[in-house]
């Protein structure tokens, strides 16, 4: 009997490495015992494991040159989800599925096969909890009432959602579950023992992401591409924001740090729509927090509008930029980016249900009216968007920051405040 000890509950690296070794030797599924380590010296009890090897900066795969195993991409994705299941036999089931696919001709078409049925059940269960957890975490972020989120997990899903959590909230947070703690300090991610193992965690017990058994590829990373149906069916803004974190509708998701979603509550009287997040917004995960946002806050105050009581978002949710001398410089989004993001803006409008929409700049106006808009022609007047929703087109506050002449800047700023006051008056009608 071959014994394999996994470093943690979702040890994708060890399972994959040992699976390749076992398949190379054609070891039958019932001749392998898989289990998660219980103590620090657990690896030494049952022979060599890929975790002990990895601590020496090498892997089982490097010690033995193995032919690459080509499996369907869909199967590998399902297996990565399967390893998040609470089923104690999940590692055995995962190996058995791979073994049977290679040596017994098992395929996705064998829908009545007992192993395929069990895989489908576990995948559905894990994904259902993942969607639920992301909604809960998004609501936790939106409330801003506390920094720690207690969560009673059903499956081992926390690690696979680390990237989602970092994207959803750039500030300090901690998730506490019975089996694992996860901490983001605003700069770096850490994993620690869960409440079941330790009521309190010391500094020495936290393990940094990217090191040791938490290096890239050592645990699953869950990407949930949002479908149009899920976007249209979202019932709350936090649920919609959660879905947006894994948006891959255009290429801007690659270089940007995160999706920057709107901030505010449903049924806000005014919805402010800007162009796209800037450098500081992309880092903070919140729209209008940089210099343009500070100027907007000042103008809102003078116009008698409380930002926190309204909704602020952008037409494009990812930061488009070019790198120059190490700096990320704003680059205007193109029409394809506006089109790709339009389902998000439409869903935000559906849930916010604003009485007035203020379009800050030409890109925002283009996204709402589905046509190119010249600001000088449309500015400072009441426009009808649809039904009873009115619109006001004005400049983007970054335009005011770029004006070189102080007198012209002051005049334009006063006109900007007047535009905002017009929006407020439309709410009061």
In this structure, what CATH number is given to the domain that contains residue 345? 3.40.470.10
Q: Are strands 327-330 and 356-360 parallel, antiparallel or unpaired?
A: unpaired
Residue 354: which of 238, 262, 272, 231 has the closest Cα? Answer: 272
Spatial distance between the Cα atoms of 14 and 54, rounded to a whole number of angstroms? 9
Indicate if 111 and 193 belong to the same structural domain: no
Domain-ending residue, one of 191, 214, 237:
214
Does 86 lie in the same domain as 21? yes
Model pTM? 0.91
The whole-number pLDDT of residue 45 equals 44
**Each residue of 269-323: pLDDT tens digit?**
999 999 999 999 999 999 999 999 999 999 999 999 999 999 999 999 999 999 9
Q: How far is CA 158 from CA 10, 51, 56, in A?
A: 10, 21, 27
State the angle between helix axes of 406-428 and 291-302 in degrees (0 to 180), rounded to the nearest 10.
60
pLDDT tens-digit readout, 304-318: 999 999 999 999 999
Write the secondary structure of 222-255 as one string of H (helix), E (strand) and C (coil): CCCCCCHHHHHHCCCHHHHHHHHCCCCCCHHHCC
Q: Would 208 be classed as within a structural domain?
A: yes
Whether 265 and 286 map to the same domain: the answer is yes
Region of 7 please: left (phi>0), alpha (psi -120 to 50) or beta.
Answer: alpha
145 pLDDT tier (thresholds 50, 70, 90): confident
- Tens of pLDDT, residue by residue over 65-112, are 666 778 889 999 999 999 999 999 999 999 999 999 999 989 889 999
pLDDT value at residue 330: 96
Whether residues 178 and 250 share a domain: the answer is no
Which one, of 155, 151, 108, lies nearest residue 128 by Cα? 155
Tell whether 375 and 246 lie within a shared domain. Answer: yes
Report the number of secondary-structure helices (H) and strands (E) in the chain: 17, 14
Q: What is the mean pLDDT of residues 205-234?
A: 95
Are residues 48 and 13 located together in one domain of the fold?
A: yes
E strands of 103-184, at which residues?
148-150, 173-176, 180-184
pLDDT band per the 50, 70, 90 thresholds, residue 40: low
363 domain residue, yes or no: yes
Say if 390 falls within a structural domain: yes
By CB atoms closer than 10 A (0-12, 13-18, 19+), residue 70 is exposed
Calculate what percentage of the chain has a pLDDT beyond 90: 87
The pLDDT value recorded for residue 146 is 87
pLDDT for 132: 97
Residue 56 has pLDDT above 50, yes or no: no
344-374 pLDDT, tens digit per residue, is 999 999 999 999 999 999 999 999 999 999 9
Question: According to the model, what pLDDT value does residue 407 have?
Answer: 94
> Do the Cβ atoms of 208 and 189 come closer than 8 Å?
yes
**Pick from 67, 97, 123: which residue ends a domain?**
123
Tokens (6 digits) for 124: 């559905």
pLDDT in the model for residue 405? 92
Average pLDDT over residues 107-134: 96
- Assess if residue 222 is contained within a domain: no
> Does 289 share its domain with 233?
yes
Q: How far is CA 64 from CA 18, 25, 280, in A?
A: 11, 11, 47
Q: What gap in Å lies between CA 136 and CA 150, rounded to an integer?
A: 10
Give percent above pLDDT 70 in the chain.
93
129 belongs to a structural domain: no
The Cα 159–Cα 221 span in angstroms is 7
306 located within any domain: yes
54: containing domain: 2-123
| Structural domains counted in the chain | 3
Residues 318 and 371 in one domain: yes
């Amino acid at each position: 009997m071959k014994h394999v000890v996994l470093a943690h509950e979702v040890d994708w690296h060890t399972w994959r490495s040992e699976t390749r070794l076992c398949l190379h030797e054609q070891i039958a599924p019932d001749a392998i015992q898989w289990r998660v380590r219980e103590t620090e010296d657990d690896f030494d009890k049952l022979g060599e494991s890929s975790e002990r090897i990895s601590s020496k900066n090498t892997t089982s795969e490097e010690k033995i040159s193995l032919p690459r195993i080509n499996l369907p991409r869909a199967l590998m994705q399902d297996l990565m989800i399967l390893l998040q299941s609470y089923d104690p036999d999940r590692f055995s089931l995962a190996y058995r599925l791979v073994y049977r696919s290679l040596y017994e001709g098992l395929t996705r078409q064998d829908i009545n096969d007992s192993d395929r049925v069990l895989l489908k059940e576990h995948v559905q269960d894990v994904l259902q909890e993942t969607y639920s957890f992301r909604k809960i975490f998004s609501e936790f972020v939106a409330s801003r009432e506390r920094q720690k989120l207690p969560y009673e997990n059903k499956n081992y899903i926390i690690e696979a959602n680390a990237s989602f959590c970092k994207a959803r909230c750039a500030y300090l947070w901690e998730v506490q579950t019975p089996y694992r703690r996860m901490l983001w300090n605003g700069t770096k991610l850490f994993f620690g023992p869960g409440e079941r193992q330790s009521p309190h965690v010391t500094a020495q017990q936290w393990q940094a992401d990217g090191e040791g058994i938490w290096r890239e590829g050592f645990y699953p990373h869950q990407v949930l591409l949002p479908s149009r149906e899920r976007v249209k069916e979202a019932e709350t803004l936090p649920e919609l924001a959660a879905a947006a974190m894994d948006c891959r509708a255009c290429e801007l998701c690659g270089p940007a740090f995160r999706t920057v979603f709107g901030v505010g509550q449903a049924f806000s009287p005014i919805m402010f729509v800007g162009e796209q997040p800037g450098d500081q917004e992309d880092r903070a995960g919140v729209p209008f927090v940089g210099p343009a946002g500070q100027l907007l806050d000042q103008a809102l105050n003078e116009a008698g509008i409380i930002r926190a009581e309204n909704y602020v978002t952008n037409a494009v949710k990812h930061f488009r930029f070019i790198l120059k001398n190490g700096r990320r410089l704003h680059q205007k989004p193109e029409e394809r980016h506006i089109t790709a993001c339009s389902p998000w803006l439409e869903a935000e409008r559906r849930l916010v249900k604003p009485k007035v929409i203020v379009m800050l700049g030409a890109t925002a106006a283009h996204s709402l009216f589905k046509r190119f808009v010249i600001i000088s022609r449309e500015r400072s007047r009441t426009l009808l968007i649809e039904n009873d929703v009115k619109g006001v087109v004005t400049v983007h506050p970054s335009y005011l920051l770029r004006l070189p002449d102080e007198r012209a800047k002051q005049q334009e700023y006063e006109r900007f405040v007047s535009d905002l006051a017009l929006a407020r008056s439309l709410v009061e009608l």
